[in-house]
Amino acid sequence: MSSVRIPPVLRDAVGGSRSVAASGATVAEVLGDLFRRFPALRDRVTEGGELSRFVNVYVNDRDVRYRDGLETPVGDSDTVILLPAMAGGSS
Amino acid sequence: MASASRLGGAATRVVPSMDAVTASIGHTPVVELRRIAPSPTIRLFAKLEWANPTGSVKDRIAHAMIADALASGALRDRQTIIEPSSGNTGISLALIGARLGHPVRIVMPDNTTPERTRLLLAFGAEIVYSPGAEGSNGAIRLAQELAAADPDLYMPFQYGNAANPRVHEETTGPEILEQVPDVDVFVAGLGTGGTLTGVGRYLKRERDGVRVIGAEPLPGELVSGLRSLDDGFVPPVLDATVLDDRFLVSNHDAVIGVRRLMHEEGLFAGLSSGAVLSVALRVAAEMKQGAMVLLLADGGWKYLSTDLWTRDVDEISDDFEGSVLW
């Protein structure tokens, strides 16, 4: 099971947890597992079946959009991070 | 460019690009990181943007945005400039405003370092604080509200101003290629996205195979409290297609990077520079050879009060959970 970090803005959809364990060998499978258990999460992070442009997904700190997107592999000891798109720092 | 001719008063007509202070923007040095480089076949070069007049890369965009606004007439004589900033852009605009006679009002999260407040006040800028828990997004929202409510304010808006990536495409990118002609990888922090977009466009146009990598802060628990995902924000100047990879960096890893720059290379860098080093080394671990250019956006001066170099790294990382530092 990988660990998925949930940002504060989405925690009400997962019962308030900061991090939840999820199964799946790809980002799509991990998210699918979360959506089955926490249906409210699906509407918050997807638009028309795709990831919302305001949600970034990282596997081990690396943005999956620059890897294989939803097909990016996820290992058992990997950490998946969901983050809202935010203006960065140094600005 | 009549509106740009105020520097030095009516008798001495000086446009901003010819002013001695603003002319010192850019042309920053590059040094090789020989001790930190992970192998003899991977060369790391640091571009020291703290050599700009106010000590950060943001002098480039502040000058470009104001020169554009003066040229187009969007910024009128003595008009007040308002801008959301976590510090560096605000300080750069405060310098330009002071040179040209424009009052400057900066909307800044209330949890940055005290050095930024002091520098802004020293330059004569006014500060409006936004809720720190909302991070830079909160500063953007408040600045937009203030600008919308008062037509006498001019907002350059670094996140959406084309002069931001353009000045990097026209100056920073060419400087890098001249200083490191065999550059293979460019790594910089991701804030507005202007540096990565502009430099990336230039390098990719001029040299085949260059990869452009972004380092972005992992927001602390106390600054990721957007009210809803609808408050999410993708800066309009960021051209995500220019990026080849993008990494989150924790405050912990950024601090470790800052200390390595200091202890191994004698470079007094700011927190985002440590994050850029952290990402560069991660990318380097997947390379056999090549030249990497790391853009170090600012120096350590604005972080002195955090004791970044001397305190326990875990303790300092915990403290940063509630701050907007880079």
Q: Which pair of tokens denotes residue A18? A: 């900061």
The confidence score (pLDDT) of residue B233 equals 81
End-to-end alpha carbon distance in chain B: 35
Q: Best interface-test mutation with A: which of B211, B212, B229 has the largest number of A CBs within 10 A?
A: B229
The confidence score (pLDDT) of residue B4 equals 41
Contact: B88, A91; criterion CB under 8 Å = yes
DSSP letters, B107-150, are EEETTS-HHHHHHHHHTT-EEEEE-GGGHHHHHHHHHHHHHHH-
The confidence score (pLDDT) of residue A88 equals 59
Chain B residues with beta carbon closer than 8 angstroms to that of A46 = none
The confidence score (pLDDT) of residue B263 equals 97
Q: If interface means Cβ-Cβ distance under 8 Å, which residues of chain A face chain B?
A: 7-10, 18, 44-45, 52-55, 58, 61-63, 65-66, 81, 83-91
The confidence score (pLDDT) of residue B209 equals 97
Q: Which CATH class is domain B16-51+172-322?
A: alpha beta
The confidence score (pLDDT) of residue B226 equals 58
Contact: B136, A87; criterion CB under 8 Å = yes
ipTM (interface pTM):
0.93
- Fold classification of A2-84 is Ubiquitin-like (UB roll) (3.10.20)
**pLDDT-flagged residues of chain B (< 70):** 1-18, 221-231, 324-326
The reply to whether domains B16-51+172-322 and B57-154 share a CATH topology is yes
The confidence score (pLDDT) of residue A47 equals 84
Q: From CA B252, how far away is CA B98, in angstroms rounded?
A: 36
H helices of B180-312, in order, are 194-206, 251-265, 271-284
User: Residue B23 in 3-state DSSP?
Assistant: helix
Contact: A84, B224; criterion CB under 8 Å = yes
The confidence score (pLDDT) of residue B230 equals 65
The confidence score (pLDDT) of residue B12 equals 46
Q: Are B238 and B197 in contact (CB under 8 A)?
A: yes
Nearest chain B residue to A7 by CA: give it: B224
Sheet holding A2-5, edge to edge: A19-22, A2-5, A79-84, A55-59, A62-63, B245-249, B211-217, B183-189, B290-296, B42-48, B30-32
Q: Which pair of tokens denotes residue B139? A: 């500063």
| Chain A: closest CA distance from residue B247 (Å) | 5
* Count of Cβ atoms closer than 10 Å to residue B20 Cβ: 10
Contact: B159, A63; criterion CB under 8 Å = no
Contacts of B111 (CB under 8 A, 6+ apart): B132, B133, B223, B322, B323, B324
Domain ranges of chain B: 16-51+172-322, 57-154
Contact: B248, A53; criterion CB under 8 Å = no
- Yes or no: domain B57-154 corresponds to CATH 3.10.20.90: no
Q: From CA B197, how far away is CA B169, in angstroms rounded?
A: 8
- Residue B307, Ramachandran bin (φ over 0: left; ψ between -120 and 50: alpha; else beta): left
The confidence score (pLDDT) of residue A89 equals 53
The confidence score (pLDDT) of residue A87 equals 65
**pLDDT-flagged residues of chain A (< 70):** 87-91
Chain B residues with beta carbon closer than 8 angstroms to that of A65 = 240, 246
Sign of the four-CA dihedral B266, B171, B156, B276: negative
Q: From CA B109, how far away is CA B192, in angstroms rounded?
A: 16
Q: From CA B232, how far away is CA B222, in angstroms rounded?
A: 16
